[in-house]
Structure 1
């Protein structure tokens, strides 16, 4: 089960290079239910996500590079590219800050994963997080994969 809240950051933390980060490329084979392939640095995954906004099923299966590249030719829509930064915040939680590239350059999202729905509902975000878009499906990457123009432009 994936339980997360998502925000549009008002500002970005300084010195992002100091934080652990990954280059991510992902594409969608299906959006309802979500079936996604992802390259994260030199690792490859196939992911299934069930329906929902803040809480939904999620299963990750490993792929090899050859399988990823084969499935990439079968993907529909936009290929999403971004750098994800892992920024420690309060109570042992980690903010995952995505800075998008390509078609979605200048778009940023930050999300936090939780161990329970109660924990997610009681979360008090840092000031820099900005607007909560957890329940707005337009900010799911699967939606971004299907649109002609980026949000907020």
Structure 2
């Protein structure tokens, strides 16, 4: 289960020296329910996300499932995004 909350940020500190850098590529196969493919460096993942509830404009509750993909499967599905 995933619970997302939105926040309004007034200032963003410079964290460029303190964070790891990832190369991310993603695409969406469906929007409701959400079906997403993502490449993060050399990891390939398919994510299925089904919204369960929205309590207010700032809070979303979703059931989220992830499964690994092969590199070939990712690039095959990427053509369909």
TM-score, length-normalised on structure 1? Answer: 0.45
Whole-angstrom distance in 2 between the partners of 1:23 and 1:32 = 26
Cα gap change, 1:8 to 1:17, in 2 (>3 Å): farther
Aligned equivalents of 2:42, 2:12: Cα separation in 1: 26
RMSD: 1.7
State yes or no: 1:60 paired with 2:60: no
User: Going by fraction, where is strand more abundant, 1 or 2?
Assistant: 2
> What's 1:49 paired with?
49
**Distance in 1 between the 2:16 and 2:44 partners?**
24
State the shift of 1:59 in Å. Answer: 0.2
Higher helix share: 1
2: distance between equivalents of 1:8 and 1:68?
A: 34
Partner-residue secondary structure (3-state), 2:7: strand
Deviating runs (4+, > 4 A) in structure 1?
none
3-state SS, counterpart of residue 6 of structure 2: strand
Q: For residue 22 of structure 1, give the secondary structure of its aligned residue in structure 2.
A: coil
C-alpha distance in 1, partners of 2:40/2:64?
A: 17
Q: Secondary structure of 1:50's partner?
A: strand
